[in-house]
Structure 1
Amino acid sequence: MSSIKQYMKFVKPYMGQIIWTIVIGIFKFAIPLFIPLILKFVIDDIIQGDMTEAAKTSKLLWMMGIAFGVFLILRPPIEYLRQYLAQLVSSKILFDIRDKAFDHIQRLSLKYYSNSKTGEIISRVIHDVEQTKNFVVTGLMNVWLDLVTIVIAVIIMLTMDVKLTIVSIILFPLYGFSVKYFYAKLRDLTRQRSQALAEVQGHLHERVQGISVTRSFALEEYEQEQFGKRNKHFLDKAIEHTDWNAKTFAVTNTITDLAPLLVITFAGYQVIHGNLTIGTMVAFTGYMERVYSPLRRLINSSTVLTQSIASIDRVFEFMNETYDIDDKKNAVQLGRVEGNIQFKNVHFSYDEKDGDVLKNIDLHVKKGETIALVGMSGGGKSTLISLIPRFYDVTKGSITVDGHDLRNVTQRSLRNNIGMVLQDNILFSESIAMNIRMGNPEATDEEVIEAAKKANAHDFIMSLPNQYDTLVGERGVKLSGGQQQRVAIARVFLKNPPILIFDEATSALDLESEHMIQEALSKLSEERTTFVVAHRLATITHADRIVVIEHGKITEVGTHEELLRKRGSYYDLYQVQDFHNEAAVVNE
């Protein structure tokens, strides 16, 4: 389906309002069309009429009085209604598209986001969607109004003089050919310019987020050069677009400028030879402006529409991205689960060409059991736990919760049963209370405070200037790493899920913060099925079972004591970490 057809689905609910806006617009544009007729009447029937000066004056005042009444009383409310309705309808359509786009954003898989720049996505949802507004206002409203204005003006001109009317519109075919020729290429150039702008925005968004890296490595000059390359690419595309657009205007405006000259030449000849009145000649000259002004607007409209259509293409190119993870039509709606999870011969690969990241994973986790996943970086620990909330689907095998294959249940009902605390938890740039309430948006203030207390976060929150109303800044930048983690743990307490996932939740913290967070995590894990990915092995010795993952495979499973006695990979890892810990104590 073409992007225009898809866009029109959003327009369809408002077609009645659009038609009403066009009808009002016809009255708005039709009223000024009578001015040349009034001018003709004043010249031919009043000024050159066979009447006394008093009669001429009286007739002139009566006619102009009526005209002033129409323009002062009738036209202003029509103008207001037309402008208001046009902006109202287009704004509603854009609201619907952005609403749908945000829903789409939330349903796209993590795989898509790992291959896309955030800034480019934002550019499509904000900038490109805004550009499509012109398609509604210009393409669905103004173009039709300009065409109707031209038709009405030509009909009036035909009633005055057929030959002169033909001369007036003789250049129309040439105008139509030039528009078709120039605007075919302009659409492609507009699309290229929009893509180049999105690349600039994507690069800028990424670099603003990583400004601390730029500063710490003194990369300002290098980054300026990198930004300059992308900015220059956009400049080149913008200049190429501008060059072609300027050629378009030069040719089409020349055509619309030649037409009045033809009319003046032919009409002057007719007046000289007594075949046309001066009033008719003046009126026709006035109508040339009424005919060719809409044509010039149509040129501008063509440029605007070309830009809008290019933006529509980009918007629906994004909106048509397929979901790697989607609910089946008959997907089961899970209630609160017990927490029995089984991995059966699980294989997983991010890309078929890259081979399997996980291989032959078989693991049965019972309700309330704490499972620690350990191993060298890159072994597949974080990948394995990302399969549990179905951020990705297994390539082969299956994962079941209480006997339900994850692929046969709805994503939302599954994730309602899972709470996650990560190494780099995302906090939104709002209040601490709001960030905790992400665990349960309907929670009361008392429940939020209770969750914070359980997470060992209440005391530090109360020491802040605005306490629970303190704004944490983008990604929680105003809080320390330990404070961010405790807020993240508090929202999981508030959610109260039966399954927990801790992914390196304490690896980047100082010892004091780690102790407080470990205490909170221990309380949180009670009677819940818990998965812990840990770098510091000393923090997971209490686990019911420790699973060693190496090169995407499970190589050892057992308790801390069992694995130490086995003297395998876990023993080696533990000995290395224990040696480093002893060395650190000696150095102190």
Structure 2
Amino acid sequence: MEQRIPMPRTSVFKRLLDRVLARFIPMANRSLLYRLLSENLRAQAPWYALATVAMLIVAAMTSMSAWIMKDIVNETVVSKDMQRMFFLAGGVATIFIVKGIATYFQIVILSKAGNNIIAVTQKRIFDRILRQDLNFFIKHPSSDLVMRLTNNAQAARSVMDLVLTSAVRDLFSLIGLLVVMFIQQPILSLVTLILGPAAFLGVRYLTKKVRDIMRQELTAVTKIIEGVQEASTGVRIIKAFGLEEHMRERMNQSVTQVEHRANSIARLSAATSPIMETLSGLAIAGVIALSGLWVVGGDKTPGELMSFITALLLAYEPAKRLARMRINLEAAMVGVRMMYEIKDHPIQLTEAENARPIPEEGGGEIVFEDVGFSYAPDKPLFENLNLVFSAGKTTALVGASGGGKSTIINLVMRMFDPDEGSIKVNGLDLRQVSFASLRAHMSYVGQDTFLFNGTVRDNLALGREGATEEEIVQAAKDAHAHDFIMNMPQGYDSPVGENGGNLSGGQKQRLAIARAMLRDADILILDEATSALDSYAESLVQDALKRLTKDRTTIVIAHRLATITSADNIVVLENGKILEQGPQRELLAHDGPYRRLYELQILPQLEEA
């Protein structure tokens, strides 16, 4: 749904802009263009004002170069006044020097303003992305977001530059040259203009085909980015299963699609040139023939004829650019539209107007009260779910995949909001808690450990802003990560690589645990936090986790029951329902789901031992 934001209330400018844009831009894109202009014109007004002055100078000098041809020819052919000729030569040099300087400043100033538009747009899009919930990232793959953050932001700059240069430089250059033509040869100028509208009609037909092709091309480019990302992150699977040829074929198909569509757009865009060349050639040929008769049989001077023909020839380039403007603008507006789809995407998770910090009293108790939640309509995962994570205690969530364990964690971290009921921390509904307070009170270690591209120290320091070197090293020691860190080439300054590519799975997980320890939060969430560790490393980390979880509200997801034997409460989930809960000794005291899981998993290990 497009949001129309009106331009500033300058009625004369608005009416003029409407009339100009109506010739080049369909109504569907006009409101989108007004919005783009309104968001960027004010911020870039000083630069665009300077660029406009420079472009007006270019337009004026272009017209002057045609006008001065009258005196040059007349002085050369008729009067043969050498002093006058030297004066005119200096005038020509001055015209082109001024035009060159103005062109330079126009390019530099527009580039500065355009680069700022790209930077501001990318910051706004990225900020909007960060504020979205998990559903947004499920629906929008990373390759799509990369495309919208890069190419679409560039499209916004292209549209601004195109509108400004066409509306100022090309339009005023054409107007100035037409003035010269009408002053020198008014009747011939009218004859020339007869063929002008025909060119725009031909271009208008081509424009209709550009929009769909451009969107298809951007989609195919997204597939290329996606292929590169998958090849980078999934290289082990690709190598292990011999999928190189499969990946190569997918990439070749995407690249070929982009190539074909780029060729289609090039053909449509290039078609404007033959139209303009043909019409301009016919016009110039006819005008030269008529002007010859006019000069031979009339009282017109050769200088007037040359000035007219020069203006006619110079008018060709700005007229051609104006004719192609609609096609170029239509292609760029596809990217702008896709950019605004992200900027206008509703934010489902919002902070309450009077959001408060988590109350200090309560010790981190989390309570689910009649919680209902579903990922898809008419398919509820939770209905009237009631669950308590006691303050300072460890609660383990077990059960088959799809039972709702990860969803409970996501709800606690407020990645989603419940459809019904409430989730309270220390008695305050999560929807009333400020995001900053919620994040400050929670620490998370996931099964799929994520590390940022940087050094070991950089990743650990993200656990708590302002942590000292001693605190960072102590957290690493507590997570039994210090020894392997010191064995790395640069110790704590060693790069971990993209998503920890320079480390083993166990090393990555120990760094993640150290990061969580450094955070020292009241609420600790462990999602299979030791799944990538070998038996020896796991025993070391389990010892560290016992110290970490002491007196903290801890939520643990575990598939290996041996890691949760000391949990204060074990909750067995299946299809979004709590089958049973309690300490392990109580759950093993009767024949229930947990005991059956225990017998399937633990008893065989004891027998083997």
Instruction: Calculate the TM-score normalised by the size of structure 2.
Output: 0.90
Determine if the alignment matches structure 1 residue 14 to structure 2 residue 47: no
Letter in 2 for 1:343: F
Cα shift at 1:384: 1.1
Match among 224, 233, 239 for residue 215 of structure 1: 239
Contact between 2:393 and 2:554, CA under 8 Å: does it hold in 1? yes
Matches within 5 A, 1:48-87: 48-49=78-79, 56-72=81-97, 74-87=98-111
Determine if the alignment matches structure 1 residue 4 to structure 2 residue 20: no
Letter in 1 for 2:72: V
Partner of 1:398: 422
Cα shift at 1:78: 2.4
Partner of 2:368: 343
Contact between 2:200 and 2:323, CA under 8 Å: does it hold in 1? no
User: In structure 2, how many angstroms separate the alpha carbons of the residues matched to 1:111 and 1:278?
Assistant: 74
Contact between 1:134 and 1:304, CA under 8 Å: does it hold in 2? no
Letter in 2 for 1:346: V
Matches within 5 A, 1:254-273: 254-273=278-297
Match among 71, 96, 111 for residue 41 of structure 1: 71
Contact between 1:325 and 1:393, CA under 8 Å: does it hold in 2? yes
Match among 129, 134, 146 for residue 105 of structure 1: 129
User: In structure 2, how many angstroms separate the alpha carbons of the residues matched to 1:500 and 1:131?
Assistant: 44
Cα shift at 1:335: 6.2
Determine if the alignment matches structure 1 residue 130 to structure 2 residue 154: yes
Cα shift at 1:220: 2.0
Cα shift at 1:5: 3.7
Write out per-residue CA displacement over residues 95-134 of structure 1, whole angstroms, 9 at most, x where no aligned residue.
1110001101111111121222211110111122113221
Deviates more, 1:543-552 or 1:218-227: 218-227
Letter in 2 for 1:10: E
Instruction: Indicate the RMSD between aligned Cα atoms, in angstroms.
Output: 2.1
Matches within 5 A, 1:243-254: 243-254=267-278
Corresponding residue SS for 2:271:
helix
Match among 522, 538, 541 for residue 498 of structure 1: 522
Question: Gaps spanning 5+ residues in structure 2: where?
Answer: 4-30
Write out per-residue CA displacement over residues 38-75 of structure 1, whole angstroms, 9 at most, x where no aligned residue.
222122134311x6xxxx22221122124324544x44
Match among 429, 436, 443 for residue 419 of structure 1: 443
Q: Could you say if the C-alpha distance between residues 342 and 183 of structure 1 is closer, same or farther in structure 2, counting changes exceeding 3 Å? A: same
Matches within 5 A, 1:208-357: 208-334=232-358, 338-353=363-378, 355-357=379-381
Match among 345, 352, 360 for residue 384 of structure 2: 360
Write out per-residue CA displacement over residues 137-181 of structure 1, whole angstroms, 9 at most, x where no aligned residue.
111234421000111111122222211221232222222322333
Deviates more, 1:117-126 or 1:248-257: 248-257
Match among 436, 461, 467 for residue 443 of structure 1: 467
Partner of 1:521: 545
Cα shift at 1:458: 1.9
Corresponding residue SS for 2:412:
coil
Contact between 1:335 and 1:413, CA under 8 Å: does it hold in 2? no
Q: Could you say if the C-alpha distance between residues 301 and 520 of structure 1 is closer, same or farther in structure 2, counting changes exceeding 3 Å? A: farther
Cα shift at 1:475: 0.8
Match among 27, 36, 57 for residue 27 of structure 1: 57
Letter in 1 for 2:37: M
Match among 426, 431, 439 for residue 407 of structure 1: 431
Corresponding residue SS for 1:566:
coil
Q: Could you say if the C-alpha distance between residues 379 and 527 of structure 1 is closer, same or farther in structure 2, counting changes exceeding 3 Å? A: same
User: In structure 1, how many angstroms separate the alpha carbons of the residues matched to 2:69 and 2:35?
Assistant: 48
Corresponding residue SS for 1:387:
helix
Letter in 1 for 2:449: N
Q: Could you say if the C-alpha distance between residues 510 and 342 of structure 1 is closer, same or farther in structure 2, counting changes exceeding 3 Å? A: same
User: In structure 2, how many angstroms separate the alpha carbons of the residues matched to 1:110 and 1:578?
Assistant: 35
Q: Which runs of 4+ in 1 moved over 4 A?
A: none
Deviates more, 1:98-107 or 1:368-377: 368-377
Corresponding residue SS for 1:567:
coil
Contact between 2:122 and 2:149, CA under 8 Å: does it hold in 1? yes
Deviates more, 1:22-31 or 1:445-454: 445-454
User: In structure 2, how many angstroms separate the alpha carbons of the residues matched to 1:65 and 1:6?
Assistant: 46
Contact between 2:184 and 2:305, CA under 8 Å: does it hold in 1? no
Contact between 2:447 and 2:529, CA under 8 Å: does it hold in 1? yes
Corresponding residue SS for 2:589:
helix
Q: Could you say if the C-alpha distance between residues 257 and 491 of structure 1 is closer, same or farther in structure 2, counting changes exceeding 3 Å? A: farther
Write out per-residue CA displacement over residues 288-336 of structure 1, whole angstroms, 9 at most, x where no aligned residue.
1221110112234333322211110111112222223222333334366
Contact between 1:358 and 1:384, CA under 8 Å: does it hold in 2? no
Letter in 1 for 2:568: D
Corresponding residue SS for 1:150:
helix
User: In structure 1, how many angstroms separate the alpha carbons of the residues matched to 2:133 and 2:173?
Assistant: 50
Deviates more, 1:313-322 or 1:39-48: 39-48
Corresponding residue SS for 1:471:
coil
Aligned pair count?
578
Cα shift at 1:261: 1.7
Letter in 2 for 1:58: Q
Partner of 1:458: 482
Contact between 1:256 and 1:295, CA under 8 Å: does it hold in 2? no
User: In structure 2, how many angstroms separate the alpha carbons of the residues matched to 1:6 and 1:201?
Assistant: 29
Letter in 2 for 1:132: A
Instruction: Calculate the TM-score normalised by the size of structure 1.
Output: 0.93
Write out per-residue CA displacement over residues 520-549 of structure 1, whole angstroms, 9 at most, x where no aligned residue.
222211221100111111111111111111
Matches within 5 A, 1:428-439: 428-439=452-463
Deviates more, 1:532-541 or 1:125-134: 125-134
Q: Percent identity?
A: 32
